Amino acid sequence: MAKGSKPKAGSRAFWPRKRAKRIYPRMTAVPKVDGDVRPLNFAAYKAGMTRVIHEGNRKDSPTFAKDIVRAVTVLDCPPLMVCGAKLYGLKKGRDNTLGMVWAEKLDKTLSRKVKVPRKYDFRKNLASAEKLLGEANDVRLVTCTQPAKAGVGKKTPEILEVHLSGDTEAKWNYAKENLGKELKAESIFEEGEFIDTSSVTKGHGMEGPVRRFGVKIRNRKAHNKRRHVGNIGAVTPGRVLPGKIAMAGQHGFQVRTEYSKRIFRIGSDGFEPKGGILNYGSVPGQFIMIHGSVGGPRKRLIMLRKSMRKTGEKLPVEIKHVATESQQ
């Protein structure tokens, strides 16, 4: 007799479509990078978009040595403050936190997010964490954003973990040396490098199946409704197959990752077009220009990491002009 079950067929991409748990995503996967210890991910605020003119540098392209106009996204990149280090190891058969060390002096703005005991003994906690180093298999930096140094106009920082490359002992030594110090984007990424971006997209609330799934609008003689799904399955099996139902529901505000986006420029002298960036203002300090668009509205926190697909590949560009005309 034939087997009565089979693996699920069809794509499960972007399913279920529901709201993200928080307004900025977690960076759970990072590429394997050989060499010295270095951070592998960062965070920046989306400021807006502009365009640049650069010379084509792909020799096998018809645009080689010609001027090309590209759209770029400007990201406001204030330095991350390293406020702690976390040890991970196997506990009850899975990776869990073994120990946590906070920096000796924490900024007052972190009191909104972190609850550190008043009588916190830094040296005692550091010594107890080092005893667990033999059981640990990973060390990550606990960092916080500094929105006061950005043009985003907020006070409460976001807390995120930064992954490191190298072995466990080297990671721990790097974390100890950088506790309480700033982590800049230019120390992680380089111009021409490919990176991945992860963000929570714009939320559109309740939407119908036409906009949510791209369902075809029915003809004018259709019974009852036109912007509605017609059939959601066959008679057999007598149920709706997973991923096949297209109905109204939540649209947007979902975590999406885009791969292999090239960095055009990393600057530290700010970016201020005439009249400022629409709905953002000016970028006061460090910024990154990325080729193309990035998910999410302005002022949203965007997660950046080393490229998972184009590891170590670089293609620098020579920018001739950056558009700074008024956007209003």
Write the CATH number for 287. Answer: 2.40.30.10
Among residues 126, 127, 138, the alpha carbon closest in space to that of 168 is found at 138
H or E element at residue 127: helix 122-131
pLDDT tens figures, 81-119: 999 999 999 877 778 889 889 988 887 778 767 777 677
97 and 151 in a single domain? The answer is yes
Q: Same domain, yes or no, for 127 and 199?
A: no
What pLDDT, on the 0 to 100 scale, is given for residue 11? 61
Torsions phi, psi for 81 (to 5 deg): -95, 125
Q: Which residues of the chain have pLDDT under 70?
A: 1-2, 8-12, 112, 117, 243, 327-328
- Asked whether residue 125 falls in the same domain as residue 204, the answer is no
Identify whether residues 177 and 318 lie together within a single domain: no
For residue 119, what is the domain's CATH number? 3.30.1430.10
Residues 162 and 132 in one domain: yes
- Say if 195 falls within a structural domain: yes
CB 249 within 8 A of CB 206: yes
256 inside domain? yes
282, part of any domain: yes
> Are 314 and 206 in the same domain?
yes
Give domain status of residue 52, yes or no.
yes
Q: How far apart are CA 49 and CA 4, in angstroms?
A: 54
Looking at the fold, whether 195 and 319 belong to one and the same domain comes out as yes
Compute the C-alpha angle 144/147/151, nearest 5°: 155
DSSP string computed for 157-179 = PPEEEE-B-S-HHHHHHHHHHHT
Does 153 share its domain with 136?
A: yes
Residue labelled with tokens 């400007």: 74
Q: Is 17 contained in some domain?
A: no
Q: E strand or H helix at 213, and its extent?
A: helix 209-213
Whether 65 and 118 map to the same domain: the answer is: no
**Cβ–Cβ contacts within 10 Å for residue 303, how many?**
20
pLDDT in tens, 251-300: 999 999 999 999 999 999 999 999 899 999 999 999 999 999 999 999 99
Which among 141, 162, 183 is the end of a domain?
A: 183
Provide the number of structural domains found in the chain.
Answer: 2
| Beta strands in the chain, from DSSP E residues, in sequence order | 41-55, 67-76, 80-91, 94-102, 136-144, 159-162, 182-183, 194-200, 203-207, 249-252, 255-267, 287-291, 301-306, 319-322
Residue 149: domain span: 78-183
Does residue 13 belong to any structural domain of this protein? no
